[in-house]
């Protein structure tokens, strides 16, 4: 069967990520029958409360990828973070299409464009873990805690990480 | 599984001594589709993309994907130089990669030492080394790329080429105007045939000027440099020959019927709700106009096939993998009428037989004494039945061109 533009491009990204993976990141389609559904593993960045953790996420790609961005959601236990919804969905500017910016806080240059890639998304998410953006929090509780009670926030994140590792 | 890893990619160079070629290759790839540029065009903001990729981006967003400055399709200009560089790179890629991988394997196997003894070939060591892959234990599959690697070597180093080929192929070097073989003979000034000094005058008396078996310089030379020439100087087709570009339609000015009529004029499917029609037209316009940019334009039939792929992946038939649902197969755009009629041949025959029996019975029962007439008529019935079945077989498209129910139209 002839494959679509999106499938070809996803194959390219997959190959690129498997031959030359960025540090702390693994990603690929769950099954090669469906290139539009990926799983990714991200290591918690060093020097942050997330250090030592491994976070699994699923990526869903639209049919008109790369014109539209994928969605990303952490699976298996929530990630306590101002920019991650309690259900795991990641809220980060690179995943937002340039057209809609209801909050008017993101620069167009930070948002999705067809030249972005899975690799760039995952790297952005990694740095988001290290440096939350509390201007438009997805998890208000976490944002509040991060702003007002930093020590408690960090402890909670460390506990979550330890729980995630089964310790 | 394999499919993804057969895909040529810039990371192919990373584990070889030529890892510095990886960034070169990435810069020859379109940042939108990640493939090598197909008909590269440059935007007003000086970013280069495949013609089709940037058209798709501009038609959805109107902005350059790299710098997000606004741009219009009309301002795109072809980027011939990038295309030429790309063609040259693509030509050299396979052989260069083969060599680089071989070298990587050799280094991995034992540093700089030769993996196999090749005493006879010492004289022209480096070149011949790469030409004897059948002895190389690391790469049994390299044999078929032998001539290519030889070519690459000669392209990479003209000096070596002359040396190497003087060993293998005397003919080629005798083409060289400055080259005089050291064989103690002289060439006839008319026919170029080589002979002993004292035989020349006798020969000149009867020389017809026919070069006979003497090698002809031009073609042989052409051959040895063949791979370098045609791609560098491939001139673009004249714009007058190119098919005409499609203008944008102001959809709001057209009623549904007018729009559908326009689609029929263009020769593209005219079914579906209005929004789908617009999306289809934009895709068709992008495909068509990108094709106008191409040095080797494809036929309309091929473009229609592309549109069909779009229809199945993003257009009206793009409900998630629904083409696999059996009830939908007849509706699918890729429905193979010929194969369907072959696999259902028995059913068709049975239906025809039934129909014939029924009509025979009818004739017998309604017209007394017309049995014989029916008998003689049966041949006519037969042929008409066949005709009917032929029509049936030939045109399941009829079913296709019916618009699918609203539930099928996701979007």
Residue labelled with tokens 């049975």: B350
- Check if A2 contacts B (Cβ < 8 Å): yes
Half-sphere exposure of B350 (CA within 13 A, CB side): 4
Token digits of residue B222: 């052409």
Sequence-distant (6+) residues with CB within 8 A of B9 are A12, A15, A16, A19
* pLDDT of the residue at B7: 80
| Distance between CA atoms of residues B389 and B352, nearest Å | 8
| Distance between CA atoms of residues B180 and B178, nearest Å | 7
Q: Using a pLDDT cut of 70, give the percent of chain B over it.
A: 54
- Min Cα–Cα distance to chain A from B266, Å: 23
3-class secondary structure per residue, B129-154: HHCCHHHCCCCHHHHHHHHHHHHHHH
Q: pLDDT (tens digit, 9 = 90+) per residue, A23-74?
A: 999 999 998 888 999 999 999 998 999 998 999 999 999 988 999 999 999 9
Look up A11 and say whether it is catalytic: no
R_g (Cα) of chain A, nearest Å: 16
CB-closest option in A9, A15, A113 to B5: A15
What is the number of residues in chain A? 167
| Distance between CA atoms of residues A157 and A146, nearest Å | 10
> A1, A5, A61: best mutation site toward chain B, by most B Cβ within 10 Å?
A5
Nearest CA in chain A to B1: A32
Cβ A37 vs Cβ A59: under 8 Å: yes
Instruction: Verify whether the Cβ–Cβ distance A67 to B14 is below 8 Å.
Output: no
- Check if B38 contacts A (Cβ < 8 Å): no
In the three-class reduction of DSSP (H, G, I as helix; E, B as strand; rest coil), residue B195 is classed as strand
Q: What are phi and psi of A86, to 5 degrees?
A: -55, -25
Half-sphere exposure of B370 (CA within 13 A, CB side): 13
* pLDDT of the residue at B141: 45
Q: What are phi and psi of A107, to 5 degrees?
A: -75, 145
CB-closest option in B34, B66, B310 to A13: B34
Domains: count for chain A: 1
Q: What angle do CA B132, B138, B139 make, to 5 degrees?
A: 60
Give the pLDDT band of residue A101 (cuts 50, 70, 90): low
* pLDDT of the residue at B157: 46
Q: What angle do CA B273, B275, B281 make, to 5 degrees?
A: 100
Nearest CA in chain B to A5: B33
Cβ A63 vs Cβ A78: under 8 Å: no
What are the DSSP calls for B294-316, one per residue? -SSPPPHHHHHHHHHHHHHHTST
* pLDDT of the residue at A102: 56
What CATH number does residue A96 fall under? Answer: 3.10.110.10
Q: What are phi and psi of A20, to 5 degrees?
A: -140, 65
- Check if A165 contacts B (Cβ < 8 Å): no
* pLDDT of the residue at B189: 72
Q: pLDDT (tens digit, 9 = 90+) per residue, B258-278?
A: 999 999 999 999 988 988 999
Contacts of A60 in chain B (CB under 8 A): none
Higher pLDDT, B325 or B181: B181
- Helix (H) or strand (E) segment spanning residue B207: none
CB-closest option in B31, B68, B313 to A4: B313
Cβ B64 vs Cβ B76: under 8 Å: no
Give the pLDDT band of residue B49 (cuts 50, 70, 90): very high
- Min Cα–Cα distance to chain B from A96, Å: 14
Nearest alpha carbon to residue B38 among B75, B90, B74: B90
Sheet with B40-42, edge to edge strand ranges: B48-50, B40-42, B77-78
Q: What are phi and psi of A23, to 5 degrees?
A: -65, 135
Give A40's strand partners. A27, A57
Contacts of B7 in chain A (CB under 8 A): 11-12, 15
Q: Are strands B77-78 and A25-31 parallel, antiparallel or unpaired?
A: unpaired
Token digits of residue B376: 């003689």
Instruction: Verify whether the Cβ–Cβ distance B60 to A67 is below 8 Å.
Output: yes
CA torsion angle for A11, A17, A19, A21 (degrees, to 10)?
Answer: 180
Higher pLDDT, B263 or A99: B263
**pLDDT at position A107 over 60:** yes
Sequence-ordered alpha helix ranges (H) in B242-299: 256-266, 274-293
CA torsion angle for A93, A94, A99, A101 (degrees, to 10)?
Answer: 0
In the three-class reduction of DSSP (H, G, I as helix; E, B as strand; rest coil), residue B257 is classed as helix
Instruction: Verify whether the Cβ–Cβ distance A6 to B313 is below 8 Å.
Output: yes
CB-closest option in A13, A16, A113 to B65: A113
| Distance between CA atoms of residues B18 and B296, nearest Å | 32
| Crossing angle for the helix pair B80-110 and B146-156, to the nearest 10 degrees | 110
Token digits of residue B391: 């029509």
Which one of the listed residues A91, A118, A145, A157 is annotated catalytic? A91
* pLDDT of the residue at A3: 66
Q: pLDDT (tens digit, 9 = 90+) per residue, B106-123?
A: 988 876 555 454 444 444
Number of H helices, E strands in chain A: 4, 4
Instruction: Verify whether the Cβ–Cβ distance B314 to A64 is below 8 Å.
Output: yes
CB-closest option in B9, B53, B309 to A4: B309
* pLDDT of the residue at B207: 72
* pLDDT of the residue at B249: 86
- Check if A21 contacts B (Cβ < 8 Å): no
Give the pLDDT band of residue B406 (cuts 50, 70, 90): very low
Nearest alpha carbon to residue A118 among A2, A1, A4, A20: A20
> A8, A63, A98, A111: best mutation site toward chain B, by most B Cβ within 10 Å?
A63
Token digits of residue A12: 């390219």
Sequence-distant (6+) residues with CB within 8 A of A103 are A135, A136
**pLDDT at position A165 over 70:** yes
**pLDDT at position B29 over 70:** yes
Residue span of the structural domain in which A109 resides:
5-165
Nearest CA in chain A to B60: A67
Q: Are strands B77-78 and B48-50 parallel, antiparallel or unpaired?
A: unpaired
């Amino acid at each position: 069967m002839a494959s679509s533009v999106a499938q070809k491009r996803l194959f390219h990204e997959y190959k690129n990520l498997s031959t030359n993976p960025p540090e702390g990141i693994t990603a690929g389609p769950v099954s090669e029958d469906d290139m539009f559904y990926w799983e990714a593993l991200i290591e918690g960045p060093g020097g942050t409360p997330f250090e030592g953790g491994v976070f699994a996420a699923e990526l869903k790609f639209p049919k008109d990828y790369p014109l539209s961005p994928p969605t990303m959601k952490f699976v298996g236990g929530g990630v306590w973070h101002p920019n991650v919804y309690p259900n795991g969905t990641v809220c980060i500017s690179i995943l937002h299409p340039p057209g809609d910016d209801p909050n008017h806080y993101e620069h167009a240059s930070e948002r999705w464009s067809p030249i972005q890639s899975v690799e760039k998304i995952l790297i952005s998410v990694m740095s988001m873990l290290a440096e939350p953006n509390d201007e438009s929090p997805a998890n208000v509780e976490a944002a509040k805690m991060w702003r007002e009670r930093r020590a408690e926030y960090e402890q909670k994140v460390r506990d979550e990480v330890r729980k995630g590792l089964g310790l | 599984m394999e499919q993804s890893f057969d895909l040529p990619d810039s990371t192919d160079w990373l584990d070889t001594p030529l890892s510095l070629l990886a960034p070169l290759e990435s810069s020859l790839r379109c940042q939108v589709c990640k493939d090598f540029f197909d008909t590269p065009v440059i935007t007003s903001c000086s970013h280069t993309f495949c013609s089709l990729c940037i058209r798709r981006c501009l038609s959805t967003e109107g902005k350059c994907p790299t710098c997000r400055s606004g741009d219009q399709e009309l301002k795109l200009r072809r980027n011939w130089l990038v295309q030429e560089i790309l063609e040259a790179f693509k030509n050299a890629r396979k052989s260069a990669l083969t060599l680089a991988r071989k070298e990587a394997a050799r280094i991995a196997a034992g540093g700089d030492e030769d993996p196999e003894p090749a005493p006879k070939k010492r004289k022209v060591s480096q070149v011949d080394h790469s030409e004897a892959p059948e002895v190389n234990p690391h790469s049994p599959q390299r044999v078929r790329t032998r001539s290519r690697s030889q070519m690459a070597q000669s392209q990479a180093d003209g000096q070596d080429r002359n040396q190497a080929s003087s060993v293998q192929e005397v003919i080629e070097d005798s083409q060289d105007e400055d080259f005089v073989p050291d064989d103690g003979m002289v060439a006839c000034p008319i026919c170029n045939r080589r002979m002993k000094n004292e035989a020349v005058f006798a020969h000149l008396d009867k020389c017809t000027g026919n070069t006979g078996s003497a090698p002809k310089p031009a073609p042989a030379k052409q051959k040895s440099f063949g791979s370098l020439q045609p791609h560098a100087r491939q001139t673009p087709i004249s714009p007058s020959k190119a098919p005409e570009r499609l203008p944008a339609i102001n959809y709001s000015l057209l009623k549904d019927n007018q729009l559908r009529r326009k689609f029929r004029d263009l020769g593209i499917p005219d079914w579906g709700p209005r929004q789908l029609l617009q999306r289809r037209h934009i895709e068709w316009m992008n495909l068509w106009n990108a094709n106008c940019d191409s040095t080797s334009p494809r036929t309309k039939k091929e473009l229609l096939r592309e549109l069909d792929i779009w229809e199945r992946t993003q257009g009206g038939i793009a409900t998630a993998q629904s083409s696999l649902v059996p009830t939908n197969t007849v509706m699918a755009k890729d429905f193979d009428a010929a194969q369907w009629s072959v696999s259902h041949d028995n059913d068709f025959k049975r239906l025809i037989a039934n129909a014939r029996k029924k009509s025979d019975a009818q004739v017998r029962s309604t017209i007394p004494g017309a049995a014989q007439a029916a008998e003689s008529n049966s041949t006519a019935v037969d042929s008409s039945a066949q005709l009917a079945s032929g029509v049936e077989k030939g045109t399941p498209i009829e079913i296709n061109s019916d618009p699918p129910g609203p539930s099928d139209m996701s979007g």
